[in-house]
Each structure stands twice: as C-alpha cells, then as structure tokens.
C-alpha cells in the first residue's frame, strides 16, 4: 500500500474555499478539500496558519474555522529549527523579513518532512525563485526535498 502524501497547507488554500472573485481557484480548492475530508492525504498546517486565521475579521474567521473542523490535520509548532530555516530563506534573499510568516510556513513544512507545500500565494511561495531557493536550502541543510505546488497541480497529480 502506498503511503499518503504529507501535504502542508498555508492559509491561502483555506481562504480560497470562499474566494468568489476567482471561481476557478475556488472550485479547485473545494475539490481538493473533499479529498482532505476523505483523508486521501495527511494534512499539516502550522500555528502560523491558525494565527493568520485568528486575525481574520468576522464572519470570515468563523467560516474558515468551520472548514478546518471538516478535516483531520496535524498542527505543527514553530520550533527553533523552523525559525532557523525561515531566517535562512531571508538571509539567502529568497524572501524578505516582511514575509516572515511565509518563511515560517516553508520552514515548518521542511522540518516536518512534508512531501509538498500547497499554496495559492504565487507572490511569495509558488514561484521559481522560492522553489529554487527552497531546493538549495533543503540540499545544504540535509533535509528531504519538498515540492511547492498550487492546489490545481495536486489535483492533476491525483487524476
């Protein structure tokens, strides 16, 4: 039996469950969410994700929490190792200090040996610069290689 993929979700995935202004992304996210509800993947998120959701205004915050309650997931703490990776991302010029939460998302996924990071954040996470930089960090630091995909790519890989 094949093991389930360990997927790390950043906050953008959860928020796109209700992103009426981008119906294609919302549809793909909802289709993926059904797979999460059916436990097709091992889902991970971090305390950063939960903190970002807590910062949302109502009624969005309650709706996102309701969505999370529909799936089984593991919450990852932000450890010293995660912060070290996040700081390396900044030191290498991949992202800036202003994007420290995004760096921590990436660090949490790397340290916990997830197979992939799933995000709709093309500006900071799902782009060539970040993908190449993360590959360099995982190689230099001796961590397992990690993929960075948007939800549509994960859906395509399961067809």
CATH of the domain at 39: 3.40.50.1010
**Looking at the domain assignment, is residue 1 inside a domain?**
no
Give the range of the structural domain holding residue 68, as residue numbers without chain letter: 6-157
Instruction: Read off φ and ψ for residue 74, nearest 5 degrees.
Output: -105, 130
- For 33-48, write each residue's pLDDT tens digit: 999 999 999 999 999 9
- For 103-137, write each residue's pLDDT tens digit: 999 999 999 999 999 999 999 999 999 999 999 99
The pTM of this model reads: 0.95
46, 105 contact by CB (below 8 A): yes
The token pair at 79 is 């450890």
């Amino acid at each position: 039996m094949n093991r389930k993929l360990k997927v790390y979700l950043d906050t953008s995935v959860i928020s796109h469950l209700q992103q009426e202004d981008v119906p294609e992304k919302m549809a793909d996210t909802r289709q993926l969410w059904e797979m999460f509800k059916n436990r097709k993947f091992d889902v991970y998120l971090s305390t950063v994700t939960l903190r970002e959701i807590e910062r949302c205004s109502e009624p969005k915050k309650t709706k996102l929490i309701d969505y999370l309650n529909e799936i089984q997931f593991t919450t990852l703490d932000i450890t010293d190792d995660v912060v070290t990776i996040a700081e390396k991302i900044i030191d290498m010029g991949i992202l800036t200090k202003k994007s420290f939460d995004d760096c921590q998302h990436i660090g949490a996924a790397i340290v916990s040996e997830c197979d992939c990071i799933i995000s709709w954040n093309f500006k900071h996470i799902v782009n060539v610069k970040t993908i190449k930089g993360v590959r360099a960090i995982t190689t230099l630091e001796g961590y397992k290689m990690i993929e960075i995909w948007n939800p549509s790519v994960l859906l395509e890989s399961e067809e």
